[in-house]
Amino acid sequence: MSLEQLIKSLDSVEYRQGFVEGHAKDTIAFQIKQLRKAEGWDQKKLAEVAFGRPALQPMVSRYENPDYGKYSITTLLELAAAFDVALVVRFAPFSELVEWDVYSTEKTLRPPKYSQDVALSRMAACDQKRPPVDILGPMKLDADRSTGFLGRGKPTDGHQGSKEGAA
């Protein structure tokens, strides 16, 4: 199926649901297994590292079943901590999922752990060459707004005169 055909298939609500469900359930299950194997661990060892109890091996076996899909965010966080990788759980546009569907590989199923994440050092190196960017800018703006709202200082972002600012 070409990319164009895939995008056309997404016109169907049922296809979209299956596509999202498939990626949510399959990807996690495949990733758990691939990440575990990359560590050279058996399921018992992962149960011990992630949950502190080797006896929970049957749970790991369930998690590696792509039809299971009943993970809690807490469990996923424990697994992410065990593998020392990040966890991203969020709603996203379909375009992002299509990109993952089309371009993900065995390698992307097995993200590097923090200590081996060379992209991080590359990002840091690139950032040093760029003019400084105030990444806290929007947050500071919000902080200013709340200060203005609470009347503990002068609003500085145009809120002066608004109902909120006046209150």
Partner 1 sequence: MFSKWLGKNPGALARFRVRVRDLNKVPQADWNKKQFRYLKGHKQLAEIKWKWSAREWRGFGYFDVEGYFVIVMGCTHKENYDPLNCLDTAARRMREALTGEWEIKSYEP
Q: Is 104 in the site for partner 1 (CB under 8 A)?
A: yes
Q: Is 156 in the site for partner 1 (CB under 8 A)?
A: no
Dist. CA 62–CA 79, nearest whole Å: 13
Q: Is 23 in the site for partner 1 (CB under 8 A)?
A: yes
At residue 154, the 3 state secondary structure works out as coil
Q: Is 60 in the site for partner 1 (CB under 8 A)?
A: no
Considering only residues 106, 125, 137, 167, which one is a binding residue for partner 1 as defined by CB under 8 A? 106
Q: Is 28 in the site for partner 1 (CB under 8 A)?
A: no
Q: Is 33 in the site for partner 1 (CB under 8 A)?
A: yes
Give the torsion sign (CA, 76, 31, 65, 37). negative
User: Given its phi and psi angles, is residue 84 left (phi above 0), alpha (psi -120 to 50 degrees) or beta?
Assistant: left
Q: Is 58 in the site for partner 1 (CB under 8 A)?
A: no
End-to-end CA distance of the chain: 59
Positions 62 through 81 that interact with partner 1 (CB under 8 A): 64-67
**Residue placing its CB nearer to partner 1 in the complex, 36 or 155:** 36
Taking the CA atoms of the chain, what radius of gyration do you get in angstroms?
22
Q: Which two tokens stand for residue 77?
A: 């966080």
Dist. CA 149–CA 164, nearest whole Å: 6
User: Which of 53, 50, 52 has its CA nearest to residue 64?
Assistant: 50
Q: Is 19 in the site for partner 1 (CB under 8 A)?
A: yes
- Size of the residue set binding partner 1 (CB under 8 A): 28
Q: Is 157 in the site for partner 1 (CB under 8 A)?
A: no
The residue ranges that bind partner 1 (CB under 8 A) are 1, 9, 12, 14-19, 21-23, 26-27, 29-30, 33-34, 37, 64-67, 101, 104-106, 109
